[in-house]
């Protein structure tokens, strides 16, 4: 109707274009295209002329058939239709138009004006009925009115179509939203739910319509969700991002009731009011619910990682402190007791180094699960370091309870753990501190338990000990010594003394043992027994060991250059030095730098240290032995009962512990162990050094045994480097 056209109607009726277009897009009646259908050419032409004069566009058709043909080719706003026509009369045309061209308005203009034909025409869809001949004003008025009405109708239809399309669009958006979108009535019952509720909670919208929103909320979260779900507030005060759990549909329940399975959601909602502000009547709530289960899972994992040890899945130090803090405030309130244990696995490093880290990890896991099996649900066991665990026992009746648990733990570990086919035995040193007597704060309790643990470690391990006040003094002293050692290393306060070893047959000095001294600026000379254990405990021993090696080799180099080329210098090694990555290279390097042949240096290692990791010790010492370096077993005879290692290691010397010789006073005394050691050493091709020779009787006794090397106060005290050099010269 709005386009122009150029169709040539019948031969004698060219189409005419004229009229004015309305400003709002809808065709004004005058610019409408009118199809005049009449078999009477005269009448057709006169109507056309009349309408052209009014500004209409006109097309004429002389029959019903031609009219339908024109309609199918172009859009016609209005048809003026005669009823009486040959072949196809006006009523038939009306029927066809109603069927195929419903948008075309039809006015009947007919000579036939019976009531029946008029009614019939109106029934078939004609909008008005005019009798021929018709006054021009009347025709114009009716045409205008019909076209106006039709225009309005079409506008409404177009609007409706637009509305439908828009609603479809919105529904699509709402139903395909990744979130649940809901509306509640003013009493909190669901009045609308989009389709997301099906995929998320397994409900269809209909299941929930009319039900109260709280039915969907997990019982534990109902308080939290009550006001948010049926939010009445609007704007910034309305609920946003409130987290709680929604229950999913339990398929097993016929009444659509929620099951126990739930998901975490985040809800934002706002009240709906009749006139869009809070002064209006409250109509209900509109809200959006987002599934945040994935995020929650990620948060939980991160939280777990933050507060747990991932290897054993036990709480870590941070969580332990948190639990201890809670337990302490409860104990304070209830005036009850609690115990804190510090557990340190004995010899874990040895197992880790010998069987490998994977096996070490598996041992830790197995041990953690055994420890857990000894505990109640309310106890907290935490892994606070490589092989260190803390245990909190809240609400104990007394120290017997704690002792019982410690015993249980030690018993549990008596059965070996099987790893890679090996039976691995593990044990713990356990220190116990009690609240309130051994400390009232987290720090005090953990420290007291730690001190007690060190105490039992120093006394043979594999046991437990309660904290006692005199440990405090010991601990304080150890801390002072430790910081003193650091200063001593920095300020060169360490010094080596040398104690001679004599060949009792030739009465000549054949060797020296380097013994460390700490020349303390205030306390004078401090002996190693006081600081070496602390250095070993704190790890400072490796630094001290390196210094001793360098210093001893420097001195030995000077002896070599002074012509004392047959003197063997012995130095003492600690366990930590033997496992250092550069153990062999540092020794060989020191020898080379000072021009010393390997066989002038002897490394004294105690039985206990050698046994900690035999395989590693054997392979590392072997490399040194190849270069001639001598290996001595220090304190021989008091450590291990098994002697198998004597053949497995590249040994040269056995240094017999002082205790064996101390009882001998005269050459006629008998000590079968000493005799046996000499016999065995001879058999194995090993040299024997006897320590602690203090009197002539012992010298005579040893001479009878043909002892080649002896050491003791009688033969020479440990002395400064200067004095040792003078002694050599003499
Ligand atoms: P050790 O290896 O058994 O050294 C011998 C200890 O016995 C020395 O004590 C020495 O002074 C003492 N001694 C020597 N002859 C006699 C005697 O006739 N009677 C008695 N009662 N004692 C005698 P010192 O120098 O106090 O050393 C104690 C321990 O400290 C050493 O025992 C050794 O295990 C350790 N040590 C000393 N220097 C070092 C070092 O440089 N590194 C390491 N890791 N440990 C060292
Ligand atoms: Mg020694």
Could you write out the DSSP letters of every residue in 190-218? Answer: EEEE-THHHHHHS--HHHHTTSBGGGGB-
pLDDT of residue 493: 97
pLDDT of residue 475: 76
Q: Is 644 a residue whose pLDDT tops 80?
A: no
Query: Within the chain, what is the greatest distance between any pair of CA atoms?
Result: 169
C-beta contacts of 11-19 below 8 A and 24+ residues apart: 12/41, 13/44, 13/45, 13/48, 13/59, 13/60, 15/57, 15/58, 15/59, 16/48, 16/52, 16/57, 16/58, 17/57, 18/52, 18/55, 18/56, 18/57, 19/55, 19/56, 19/57
Which one of the ligands is nearest to 715 CA? 1
pLDDT of residue 254: 58
Q: Is 603 a residue whose pLDDT tops 70?
A: yes
Q: Is 297 a residue whose pLDDT tops 70?
A: yes
CA 88 / ligand 2 centre spacing (Å): 135
Least confident of 248-262, 286-300, 320-334: 248-262
Q: Is 87 left (phi over 0), alpha (psi -120 to 50) or beta?
A: left
Question: Is ligand 1 within 6 A of the CB of residue 698?
Answer: no
Q: How far apart are alpha carbons 704 and 701 in whole angstroms? A: 5
Can you list the positions of beta strands (E) in 309-449?
337-345, 380-383, 388-396, 417-419, 422-424, 428-435
pLDDT digits (tens, 9 = 90+) for 552-585: 999 999 999 999 999 999 999 998 898 888 999 9
Q: Which two tokens stand for residue 639?
A: 């450590």
Q: How far apart are alpha carbons 408 and 392 in whole angstroms? A: 15
Which value, in Å, is the radius of gyration of the alpha carbons in the chain?
Answer: 54
Helix boundaries (H) for 64-216:
64-73, 90-100, 115-123, 136-175, 196-201, 205-208
CA 591 / ligand 2 centre spacing (Å): 20
pLDDT of residue 3: 28
Q: Is 133 a residue whose pLDDT tops 90?
A: no
Per the prediction, the chain carries an average pLDDT of: 89
Global pTM value: 0.53
pLDDT digits (tens, 9 = 90+) for 462-517: 899 999 988 888 778 888 999 999 999 999 999 999 999 999 888 899 999 999 99
> Phi and psi for 62 in degrees, rounded to 5?
-95, 0
Q: How far apart are alpha carbons 14 and 49 in whole angstroms? A: 12
Between 348-355 and 357-373, two packed helices, what is the crossing angle to 10 degrees?
A: 140
Ligand 1 closest atom vs CA 714 = 18
Q: Do the Cβ atoms of 487 and 578 come closer than 8 Å?
A: no
Question: Is ligand 1 within 6 A of the CB of residue 578?
Answer: no
DSSP secondary structure code for residue 709 in this structure: E
Residue nearest to atom 45 of ligand 1 (CA): 572
- How many distinct helices (H) and strands (E) make up the chain? 26, 26
pLDDT of residue 27: 47
Q: How far apart are alpha carbons 482 and 484 in whole angstroms? A: 5
Ligand 1 closest atom vs CA 528 = 30
pLDDT band at 639; cut points 50, 70, 90: low
Q: Which two tokens stand for residue 344?
A: 């340190």
Residue closest to 284 by CA, chosen among 296, 268, 270, 295:
270
- Percent of the chain with pLDDT strictly greater than 70: 93
Q: Is 600 a residue whose pLDDT tops 60?
A: yes
Least confident of 278-287, 304-313, 485-494, 520-529: 278-287
H/E stretch holding 108 reads strand 105-110
Which one of the ligands is nearest to 609 CA? 1
Question: Is ligand 1 within 6 A of the CB of residue 499?
Answer: yes
pLDDT of residue 334: 94
pLDDT digits (tens, 9 = 90+) for 139-191: 999 999 999 988 888 899 899 999 999 999 998 999 899 999 999 999 999 99
pLDDT of residue 609: 82
Q: Return the SS3 of 580.
A: coil
Ligand 1 closest atom vs CA 527 = 26
pLDDT digits (tens, 9 = 90+) for 31-55: 789 999 999 999 999 999 999 998 9
Question: Is ligand 1 within 6 A of the CB of residue 285?
Answer: no
Ligand 1 closest atom vs CA 516 = 38
Question: Is ligand 1 within 6 A of the CB of residue 712?
Answer: yes
Helix boundaries (H) for 517-663:
528-538, 541-561, 575-578, 583-593, 607-612, 614-626, 645-648, 658-662
Mean pLDDT of 51-71: 94
Pocket test for ligand 1, best of 499, 511, 515, 634 (most atoms within 8 A of CB): 515
Question: Is ligand 1 within 6 A of the CB of residue 572?
Answer: yes
Residues 6+ apart with CB under 8 A from 624: 584, 587, 588, 598, 603, 631, 650
> Phi and psi for 376 in degrees, rounded to 5?
-90, 165
Q: Do the Cβ atoms of 285 and 232 come closer than 8 Å?
A: yes
Residue nearest to atom 10 of ligand 1 (CA): 718
User: 466 forms bridges with which residues in the sheet?
Assistant: 432
pLDDT of residue 251: 66
Residue closest to 79 by CA, chosen among 53, 89, 64:
64
Q: Where does residue 399 rank: exposed (0-12), middle (13-18), buried (19+ CB within 10 A)?
A: middle
Residue closest to 300 by CA, chosen among 248, 264, 247, 260:
264
Q: Could you identify the residue written with the tokens 């040539």?
A: 8
Pocket test for ligand 1, best of 572, 577, 662 (most atoms within 8 A of CB): 572
Are β-strands 494-503 and 524-526 bridged in parallel, bridged antiparallel, or unpaired?
unpaired
Domains, the chain, with CATH or none: 17-158 (3.40.50.2300), 177-298 (3.30.450.20), 310-468 (3.30.70.270), 481-729 (3.20.20.450)
Q: Do the Cβ atoms of 241 and 295 come closer than 8 Å?
A: no
Which one of the ligands is nearest to 552 CA? 1
């Amino acid at each position: 109707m709005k386009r122009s056209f150029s169709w040539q109607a019948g031969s004698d009726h060219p189409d005419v274009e004229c009229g004015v277009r309305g400003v709002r897009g809808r065709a004004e009646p005058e610019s409408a295209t009118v199809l005049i259908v009449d078999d009477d050419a005269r009448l057709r032409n006169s109507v056309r002329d009349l309408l052209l004069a009014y500004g209409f566009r006109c097309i004429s058709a002389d029959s019903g058939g031609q009219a339908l043909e024109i309609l199918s080719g172009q859009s016609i706003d209005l048809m003026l239709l005669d009823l009486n026509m040959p072949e196809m009369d006006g009523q038939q045309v009306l029927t066809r138009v109603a069927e195929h061209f419903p948008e075309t308005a039809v006015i009947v203009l007919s000579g036939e004006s019976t009531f029946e034909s008029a009614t019939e025409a109106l029934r078939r869809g004609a909008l008005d009925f005019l009798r021929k001949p018709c006054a021009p004003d009347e025709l114009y008025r009716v045409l205008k009115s019909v076209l106006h009405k039709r225009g309005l109708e079409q506008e409404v239809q177009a609007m409706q179509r637009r509305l439908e399309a828009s609603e479809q669009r919105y529904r699509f958006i709402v139903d395909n939203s990744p979130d649940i979108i809901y509306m509640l009535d003013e009493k909190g019952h669901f009045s609308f739910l989009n389709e997301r509720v099906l995929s998320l909670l397994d409900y269809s919208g209909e299941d929930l319509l009319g039900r109260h929103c709280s039915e969907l909320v997990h019982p534990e979260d109902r308080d939290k969700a009550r006001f948010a779900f049926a939010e009445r507030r609007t704007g910034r005060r309305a609920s946003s991002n409130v987290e709680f759990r929604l229950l999913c549909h339990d398929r097993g329940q016929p009444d659509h009731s929620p099951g126990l399975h739930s998901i975490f959601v985040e809800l934002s909602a706002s009240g709906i009011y009749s006139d869009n502000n809070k002064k209006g009547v409250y109509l209900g709530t509109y809200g959006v619910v987002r599934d945040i289960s994935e995020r929650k899972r990620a948060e939980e994992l991160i939280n777990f990682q933050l507060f747990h040890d991932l290897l054993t899945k036990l709480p870590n130090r941070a969580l332990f402190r948190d639990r201890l803090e809670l337990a302490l405030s409860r104990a304070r309130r209830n005036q009850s007791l609690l115990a804190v244990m510090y557990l340190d696995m004995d010899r874990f490093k040895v197992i880790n180094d010998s069987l490998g880290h994977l096996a070490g990890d598996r041992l830790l896991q197995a041990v953690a699960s055994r420890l857990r099996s000894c505990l109640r649900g309310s106890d907290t066991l935490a892994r606070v370091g490589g092989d260190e665990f803390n245990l909190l026992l809240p609400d104990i009746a007394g120290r017997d309870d704690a002792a019982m648990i410690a015993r249980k733990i030690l018993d549990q570990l008596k059965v070996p753990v099987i790893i890679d086919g090996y039976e691995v035995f593990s044990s713990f040193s356990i220190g116990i501190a009690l609240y309130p007597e051994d400390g009232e704060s987290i720090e005090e309790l953990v420290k007291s338990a730690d001190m007690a643990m060190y105490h039992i470690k120093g006394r043979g391990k594999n046991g437990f000990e309660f904290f006692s006040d005199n440990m405090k003094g010991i601990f304080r002293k150890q801390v002072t010594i430790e910081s003193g050692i650091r200063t001593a290393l920095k300020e060169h306060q360490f010094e080596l003394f040398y104690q001679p070893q004599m060949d009792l047959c030739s009465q000549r000095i054949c060797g020296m043992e380097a013994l460390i001294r700490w020349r303390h600026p205030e306390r004078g000379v401090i002996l190693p027994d006081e600081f070496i254990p602390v250095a070993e405990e704190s790890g400072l021993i490796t630094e001290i060991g390196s210094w001793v090696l360098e210093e001893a080799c420097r001195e030995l180099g000077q002896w070599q250059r002074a012509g004392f080329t047959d003197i063997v210098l012995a130095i003492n090694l600690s366990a930590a030095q033997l496992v250092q990555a550069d153990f062999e290279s540092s020794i060989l390097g020191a020898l080379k730098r000072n021009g010393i042949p390997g066989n002038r240096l002897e490394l004294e290692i105690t039985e206990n240290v050698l046994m900690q990791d035999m395989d590693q010790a054997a392979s590392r010492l072997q490399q040194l032995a190849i270069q001639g370096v001598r290996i001595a077993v220090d304190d021989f005879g008091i450590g291990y009962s098994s002697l198998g290692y004597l053949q497995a290691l590249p040994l040269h010397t056995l240094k017999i512990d002082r205790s064996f010789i101390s009882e001998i006073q005269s050459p006629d005394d008998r000590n079968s162990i000493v005799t046996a050691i000499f016999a065995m050493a001879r058999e194995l091709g090993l040299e024997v050094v006897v320590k602690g020779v203090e009197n002539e009787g012992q010298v005579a006794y040893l001479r009878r045994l043909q002892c080649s090397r002896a050491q003791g106060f009688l033969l020479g005290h440990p002395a400064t480097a200067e004095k040792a050099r003078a002694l050599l010269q003499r």
